[in-house]
Structure 1
Amino acid sequence: MSNLDIVPRDAHDPGYTSLAYKADGSEFVSVGSDSTIRIFKTSPEERYGDPIEINYISGNLETVVANKDHFAASGEKGQVILGDAKTNKILKPLFRSTVPVRCLAFNVSGTKLAVATDENAIRMVLLTDISRTVNIRGHTKGVKCIIFDPRGTLLLSLGCEGDLRVWDISPETSEPKCIKHYPGAVKPTHEDDTMNGILAWSLDGSYFAAPGKDCDVIIYERTTWKQKGVLSGAHVEPVTCLTWSKVGDCIATSSADCQIIIWDVSTLKVITKYTVSMEPSCLEWSPTKNELSLADKYGQVLTVDNAGTVNPNIRGPPKKNDDDGAGYTEHNAEKEMVQKKLEPLRKRPEAPRAPRVDFTPHPIVHPGETPFHKTSGNKDNVPEVGDRRYLAFDMFGVIYTIFHGAYSIVNVEFHDLTDHKNFHFRDFDHHHIAALGRKGAAFGSKSRKDEKEDDDDEEDNDEEKRVPSTVHYRPLDKGANRLEWTVPLPDGEEIETVAINDFSVIATTTAGFVRIFSLSGTQTHLFHLKQVVSSVASADMLMLMHSPNQSANNIHHIEYRLMNTDTFETIQVGSLPLNSKKKLTWAGFSENLQPAVCDSAGVVFILHQPRRLGQALWVPVFDGPATAVRRERTERYWPIGLLKEELMCLILRGKNMFPYFPRPQVNSAELMMPTTQLDTETGRLEEKFLRTKIIATHEKEEIILDGGDENAIKKMDLEMDKTLLQLIQLACKAEKHDRVLDLSSALSSARSIDAAIKIASHFNLSRLAEHITRIKESKFMDDSMFDGFSMQAHHGTQSFSTKRSSRDVDDDMHSSSSQAFHKRTRPM
């Protein structure tokens, strides 16, 4: 394999980019996320010159096609425009869709344009009379890709459901009809996963190629509609682009593994491989020579001369019939030659395989979950009767399940039994995920075979009856208006994560949906978010963590979205603090409703200023390995919650990676930021002040949102001032006068500054004491403010991204989780 060492051309802004050659191969047209159409020369002498630019419509452009007379483009806004290929001018709007357009295709005569959208119908528009549009229906979901055959009588289409269809569109048929259906030929995809170049016809239309299910490409014969060959063994990710050479029997493919593979169709073997820095989003062969151009998701375009090592014979276009130009004459000699080439009669040494790239996605993380205790190392992960696992383990309580074959026993236990009693129930759905909150417990189960179906019913044997995946809620306090409920998900949709807060049950699914239910079971919101890896909730807050980009070699990019499930406002978005080859292992909210995460290195972070949009930062407050060293122990810390000064956790020793049964004791570990000079008294005091300040800033904002509590804010400021005064004393002792002044300026009250003056005087630093006095005079001009902190100073300047909805104040002050650990805490 060789790296594709070609200088790319910056064509568009980063995002999905597509291109199409004009009929003579002298230029290609590209579109991208910047709403601009650009036309590039293809000759080596001119290809790096400035392109022609056409700005026409807003929104991301995702697809473009061209022929000798026209080009057409469209995208997420759904408007299809038609341009003149000779003058490079826009001619007219051709079609308007209410949903994004994913693919376009001209017929061979250039008289019609097929349009594929997120709807399950294909539109075929007559260019000379756009009012004459034919709808082609048959797909059950949005149409991903369409392409006409070179003879002008067939249309291939691929839907998001994974079905491949062949349509007869010959002039003899009164209306298009499906003549061949390949159900489930390709893995289902989402409408947003734009892949509009994944079908291809051979030059004479005798064969077509489409992706398979196993990172391969299937070649089908036109006359029999059967598979005639498979291109496999090179890609490690599903094929997302493929194109059949116009001048020879070569197919080029690419996928998310960043490989471009050139295949010899006659031998079904790899000719050569290239690697690129970013996943290609489009591949196109030149219509006149052995030249391959590609576009990638950086918005770049590249052109490869003499692609691969094959030296095909350049053929002219097939001769046309004496009809209206809609078809081509089939030459028997040429057909026999192609059929012969498809038989792998001669062997060619296979090109060396590409270095394997691990694209394993980030695992789903359910905080507090463990595998089954006895069968965690079992290859099939089939539990034994009596085996058990934790489904949830947090500050409020524990949920664990015991497997009994046909059913399981789910146990819900609380750390504090003052308000709630432990309970258990028989679970025939085998819930595999759960979340525990102050108001109730939420569960999720996978779909499964319906064991109650009559095995003797031979009529139903061909279609296995399945029980759908479900979301289940059980309130902790049952009453007239607090009943448990179960909601089944649509067929084929599986629940992946579940979370619960004081207002909502939140489920994310394999369909890419976030489904939010009220505690009564009403679905109150639904939106799409790809690849959610974890979800946690507390009070009225929800944090969703998702992986928008491909993971490679254990390097993961995880983003978070913080929102309010009562008002459905988005409060903050950003990236998780995962360094190279680190994974998310835990997520939750602290006692004061501050988002927190832990990575696989044992470092816990809190989100500083989460309500200030665009200002939030992840701050490390706990380092597990460093804590173990300080304690002179070999142990790991399994988080279950975060208090103001401590991480609540289970301590794991030896080879244990998960907590054991019976339920272990909950321990605590002191928080400490990884600041510098922690081995000195000054360093430790600086760490304490910085951490207290960060946490207090968040607490003040939360207190103000809840109506204001002057005494609570005074207490926080007093704690910080105590630490600052200790630092001032050490600085005076070391005669670091500038440091003393900096620390004195950070004091929050006149009384604390008076204490700093006394400290300076004690060390006979009278001049320094005078400077501190001036700080007091400039900071507190009004004597009435000397006694303490003024609430107006806080209320006058605060500006938050969103306000929290009304919450039960009594519940806030008397959280069961707080009582269990003898802390005055916020609900977890």
Structure 2
Amino acid sequence: MSFDSMRPRGRPAHTPGTTVLAYTPNGKRVITGGSNSAIRIYTVGQDGEPQTVDEGVDANHGIGATNECFIMGAEDGTVWQYDITSGKMRNLLVRCALPVRDIAVSRDGEWVAVASDELTVKIVKIEDMTQVKYLREQPKGAKHVTFHPNGRYVSVSCTDGIVYIYSLHEEEPELVRKLDGVIRRLEPDAEATSRVVWHPDGTAFASAEATRDISIYSISEWKKEKTFAGGHTGDITALSWAPNGTLLASAAADGQIILWETKTQRILQRYDFGNVINLAWHPTKNSLSFTTSDGELFIHDDFVPREHQSLLQKPLQAAPIFPGPLTEISNNVSKPLADRSKETIQRAARKGTPDSLDDILGEDDEMPDFVDDDDGAGYAEGLNPYGKRTNGHLEDLGPNSKRVYSGSFQPNPHPPLQPGSTPWAGNRRYLCLNLTGAVWTVDQETHHTVTVEFYDRELYRDFHFTDPYQYDKACLNENGTLFANNPSDGSPATIFYRPHETWTTRADWRTQLPEGEMVRALALSDSYIVAVTTKDYVRVYTLFGTPFKVYRQKSQGVSCAAWRDYIMSIGNGPLGPDGRHTTLRYTIENVKRDEICQNEDEVALPEGVQLKNVFFSDTGDPCIYDTTGVLLVLQHWRTPGQARWVPLLDTKQLARLAGGRKEETYWPVAVAQDKFHCIILKGGDQHPYFPRPLLSEFEFQVPVSTAPPKDSSDPEGADARDENLKFEEAFVRSNVLLSLYRDLLASTNATASQRAELARKELEMNKTLLQMLANECREGEDRGMKALELVGMMSDRNGKMVEAAAKVAQRYGRGVLEDKIRDLAERRVMGMDDDDELA
């Protein structure tokens, strides 16, 4: 057997017996524990003696690590936390009555799951051991426990031969699946493994079968998809995915470690190492570490042979659960040939031919090295596994948006955006996600299958249909579902509408666009259907298919949204200040009255920032959410020339993210009931996952100011400043919401309930000003001018609020301020404001 490097030497680390290991997430250290009480900390890249921790307990069976600490679970039932630098014991996290068999640390480093011979698996918060979650459905002890890469699920491999999958979406874990026949029954101390090993992309997991094969199960259907077969002749003892998911390493009692290619499930290399019971890939390097039941540690650098090392250099790859070649799912993959046909790409891959890549593109020093797509390197990343295009093809809709790479300067327009849709993830993608429900499609190679699911299943009924048109856009609301497609075979683009309820035999309809015209974005309201096309037309239809209006945008179409009789279209405008990225222009019009509210006004986006979603709120105010995590609403949009974008929430300033405690982003869904509704994405996810995720909601929080650092010498003063900042933010927020509501009522025939709601919003704002006034009065007489200013900002129709303000000043003994407030009240009664008095 030949190796690219010399066979690594074993490093005696512990006495014979179970030996566990873990890398720190940054890959700087590898920690081992074993049957004795010693703990070894090895520095990666150094051959010197490891750091030894002698204050551990005997028989460590579980291990996990963050960059700051590592955690050990032992046979005596204790789970201890150690400092990674000094090796000192920090604290006892949890104690079990029976031996600990395995532990797992969540990717965000916040939680540790503990599997033991007890019937309950415990999940403990590392920085606050009083916060514990319990997994109670197992009838026997657990042998292994593992976290989903993004923390959505936790899997428990029970000694009864069943895998228990729990959801961690809610405060209390919920059992979502019991998978029988996935693993075999094993004794807790058996060297064979029944561990569920999640693929890095989170869509599947691997497990060892009793047949000594390795099976891959998808979490969308919770069924077996692929098998790594014929590799081992002994019981499998360890499994580990490469960090980017392209390779799988397995060890078994037959004395071999096998390197598998994920995409084809074929064996790339066999290595002879006996008694291996644990495997771990280095997070970034071509290195695999493993431990044996002899108590030895091996660090195998250059583990992947030279001819296969290109696989490790790829970005994160999709799990092998779909037919066809894998697609890259990294959001950082470049798209050098996204605007070329599949045939051109295949011709370009044939190096040395007259139509080689250099001949097609011309010489360009900035172009990266080209790699054949046979190994999924990503030069054709715009194509999904079946030769179909992902959302990347939207960039080349129409002649004006083609991207040809050359040495000359090319502007960077904003790509088309279909609100609520996601790119392909394997052979699935969401066409629409909103508060009504979700529309998602599955690519079956020859056709698609579309599923429409509703949140309110008492009012609506889910439906599912075979889709020969291969729809790539959809909209969903309480009235119906709208679809559109952009065929690649030259067929006309189609728009299809299906109402949820009808009192006639057939009410759905389908129409085709003129030849050569495709749909860039689609919108559906209670009254109209809107399509922005590659001809830069805005096409408006009634709900039952009557063409109502067609006009050409002044800018290249990007997206659109609709609410009742209003439509908002967005397009690329002139180049921005950086001279490279285009600005975005929007137009809002009332279709029914044929009135333009805002015409080609600019969307307020910082340089280089793009839209993630465009929608109307439940009360009809245009909203956008950008790639910096800021939610904005358009204020005074019904008055021409008066509109402005106001931030309602900066998700990066949420309290839950303070101090880097969580690694998460948010997928925007809707604005309703004065809240931001979204999907929480963890662990680097950029798009919602399958199965359909739960929705979360956040209160608005206008980014007025961040709290100053705490002053330990004046804790009461710091608390008062924090309280005042909260009141200031509440005042600005209530002022914005009140302004939006006043605009709404001014444009409609307000009902009694709407007028009552307006009064409630005014009262809420005035209460906030009263609380701020009380704070100023507490601060002292020298704050009187600001206090009087606050009173002047009150919306007071009958004088009650100003009277309440005078009583607040009286309560705190601010006599001069009280007199000033009463003078202000008298001027208001006389119909005078400060400007009148000065005049």
Greater C-alpha Rg: 1
- Choose between structure 1 and 2 for higher RCO, CA contacts under 8 A separated by at least 6 residues: 1
Superposition TM-score, scaled by structure 2 size: 0.47
Superposition TM-score, scaled by structure 1 size: 0.47
